[in-house]
Amino acid sequence: MGREIYSTLKPLFHPRSVAIVGASRDPKKWGFHLLLNVVKGGYAGRIYPVNPREKEILGFQAYPTVAQIPQAVDLVVLVVPPSDILRVLSECGRNGALIGVVITAGFGEISREGKKLEGEMVRLARSLGIRLVGPNCQGIVSTNPSRLYAHMPPQFPEPGPLGVVSQSGNLATSIIELANSMYLGFSRIISSGNEADLQTIDFLEYLAEDPQTEVILSYLEGIKDGERFIRAVKKVSSQKPLLMMKAGQTEAGVKAAFSHTGALTGSDDLFEGLCQQMGIIRPETLEEMVDIAAALLTQPLPKGRRVGILTLGGGWGVLAADYCAKAGLTLPQLSPGMVKTLDKVLPPWWNRINPIDMVAGYRKGDLIQSLEVFLSSRQFDGVLMLGLGWRATRGGFLQVSALTPEDKMEAVGHDWIEEEQKIFAEVQELGRRYAKPILFASDMVHLVPGYAESIRRRRVAAYPSLHRAVRAYLGLVERHEILKRMQETVGSRVPWK
């Protein structure tokens, strides 16, 4: 199944040519924006605007119909009124086009007539050998091998390991913004809309096989073929981490979803139960989804729920301890051996519990040795590190505040920034050596020099607040538990590390 859909969808994600039907010279039309985004995004294949009233649009020769394009087109993006859709599809058939993305809305989501037309459109497409994405969708992004941004919003996210399937275009748009703030890029983004032909599950199967995709995010409004869905999703989640949000957790959401994509969302309790069975991680918010993805992409999985907390301020430790406990993570106490080791490292008044409070005056040696006490212990599966970045922040402030040369503020500021940068690098090194996850939470960690680069090289997961880091850590635990359950029930080797 997976392999078959992989070849079916190849012209969608690796097209050699793209036609935009309904392309326009008028910046007020979506047909203009689709073309503009494909052009501005740097798509390297052939681009064919289709519009019977224009000779040329944005510097590209325009064609009156798809049928008149001299080559067969891999991918056709349709931005035409619903009343034109059947005629245009027939022309695509004459051209030999392989796959279509129907941006156009006004089908099954608005009326019975629309639903009927949607059905006719799919039947016609099938008879012509054309598969369809949409209708009522925002388009698709595929960053590799070509940079194709065939979607409505002016967003051009970097290539990267996230694959997204969303029945809602604007939620895909929000996911892009969130991932961008975490320095994460995308392989493919599919806005699947009404899913008249191709469904979420088809795209999930593709992404599971896609070598460019490492973690899969999905927003779902409705499932059409429950049995196939469950079977296929189980396989997908055995191959790659799958994070899914489903609309219609409440009656209000169910109604809204039906009016949005015509989806019948089904019982939420049922879905919740299926998530465990299918190996799905189910975040509450888009932010959580992206946060967990960031952890999965950068950190090894913890072998259990036992967390050590190392904090550079007492209050952060207290709140994080509360969040961990509420999330079902455990904070084991320090063994007598660990206390003994740390007594040699830390000042006499250190607090001797987990969270270890480094107080405000942390030194590099103390911090690294304390971290290693957690990492080397069999009682701890991973570490949360709170407050890194404030020394670099203070160092930067010293540098810009230097009042008189004899105060040595410039030099001390420089030393502090350098010291924190070294801590940051050593923490990453230690995490790799012990193969345990280390998640940062801090208002200021982004000010540590090397931060952005470390994230891009997938060495760090850092969050601007405690609760986000704790929830991301829980996501790592959930993924570990999913794989463990799979190994126990299937007894087979699991490809994910």
CA distances, 275 to each of 226, 244, 327 (Å): 13, 9, 18
| Smaller CB separation from its own copies, 103 or 482 | 103
Amino acid present at 175: I
Binding mask 422-451 for its own copies (x = CB under 8 A): ---------------------xx-------
CB of 373 to its own copies, least distance (A): 17
* Coil, helix or strand at residue 19: strand
Residue with tokens 């701890």: 380
Rounded Cα gap, residues 321 and 354, in angstroms: 9
Question: Rule CB under 8 A: is residue 404 a binding residue for its own copies?
Answer: yes
| Smaller CB separation from its own copies, 228 or 326 | 326
Helix, strand, coil distribution of the chain in percent, nearest 5: 50, 15, 35
Question: Rule CB under 8 A: is residue 353 a binding residue for its own copies?
Answer: yes
Among 63, 316, 451, 473, binds its own copies (CB under 8 A): 316
| Smaller CB separation from its own copies, 54 or 96 | 54
| Short-list 389, 390, 385, CA closest to 470 | 385
Pair 287, 484: CB distance under 8 Å: no
CB of 112 to its own copies, least distance (A): 13
Find the part of the chain contacting its own copies (CB under 8 A) among 127-135, 161-169, 294-302, 473-481: 161-169
CA atoms within 13 A on the CB side of 90: 4
Strands (E), 43-198: 46-50, 56-57, 60-61, 75-78, 99-102, 131-133, 139-142, 148-151, 159-166, 186-191
* Coil, helix or strand at residue 217: strand
Among 195, 209, 221, 291, binds its own copies (CB under 8 A): 221
Q: Is 428 left (phi over 0), alpha (psi -120 to 50) or beta?
A: alpha
CB of 55 to its own copies, least distance (A): 13
Pair 283, 292: CB distance under 8 Å: yes
CB of 329 to its own copies, least distance (A): 9
| Smaller CB separation from its own copies, 50 or 409 | 409
Question: Rule CB under 8 A: is residue 20 a binding residue for its own copies?
Answer: no
Show contacts with its own copies in window 240-269 (CB under 8 A): 245, 247-253, 255-257, 259-261
CB of 275 to its own copies, least distance (A): 16
| Smaller CB separation from its own copies, 92 or 102 | 102
Question: Rule CB under 8 A: is residue 110 a binding residue for its own copies?
Answer: yes
Helical segments of 104-167, H only: 112-128
Among 15, 135, 241, 317, binds its own copies (CB under 8 A): 317
| Smaller CB separation from its own copies, 269 or 406 | 406
Helix (H) or strand (E) holding 71: none
Among 408, 422, 433, 457, binds its own copies (CB under 8 A): 408
* Coil, helix or strand at residue 349: coil
CB of 10 to its own copies, least distance (A): 27
* Coil, helix or strand at residue 411: helix
Rounded Cα gap, residues 131 and 5, in angstroms: 11
| Smaller CB separation from its own copies, 213 or 442 | 442
Question: Rule CB under 8 A: is residue 104 a binding residue for its own copies?
Answer: no
Binding mask 26-65 for its own copies (x = CB under 8 A): xxx-x--x--x--xx-----------------xx------
Show contacts with its own copies in window 460-489 (CB under 8 A): 465-467
Question: Rule CB under 8 A: is residue 209 a binding residue for its own copies?
Answer: no
Helical segments of 245-363, H only: 251-261, 268-278, 286-298, 314-326, 336-345
Our measurement of the distance from residue 17's CA atom to the centroid of its chain's CA atoms, rounded to an integer in Å, reads 27
Question: Rule CB under 8 A: is residue 322 a binding residue for its own copies?
Answer: yes
Show contacts with its own copies in window 63-102 (CB under 8 A): none
CB of 353 to its own copies, least distance (A): 5
Show contacts with its own copies in window 273-302 (CB under 8 A): 284-287
CB of 453 to its own copies, least distance (A): 23
Question: Rule CB under 8 A: is residue 352 a binding residue for its own copies?
Answer: yes
DSSP state of 445: G
Amino acid present at 217: L
Binding mask 373-402 for its own copies (x = CB under 8 A): --------------x--x--xx--xx--x-
| Smaller CB separation from its own copies, 11 or 413 | 413
Find the part of the chain contacting its own copies (CB under 8 A) among 64-72, 105-113, 420-428, 474-482: 105-113
Q: And the tokens for 292?
A: 């967990």
| Smaller CB separation from its own copies, 63 or 416 | 416
| Smaller CB separation from its own copies, 84 or 177 | 177
Among 64, 93, 96, 313, binds its own copies (CB under 8 A): 313
Rounded Cα gap, residues 388 and 385, in angstroms: 7
Residue with tokens 């922040």: 393
Alpha-carbon torsion, ordered 478, 467, 253, 243, to 10 deg: -30
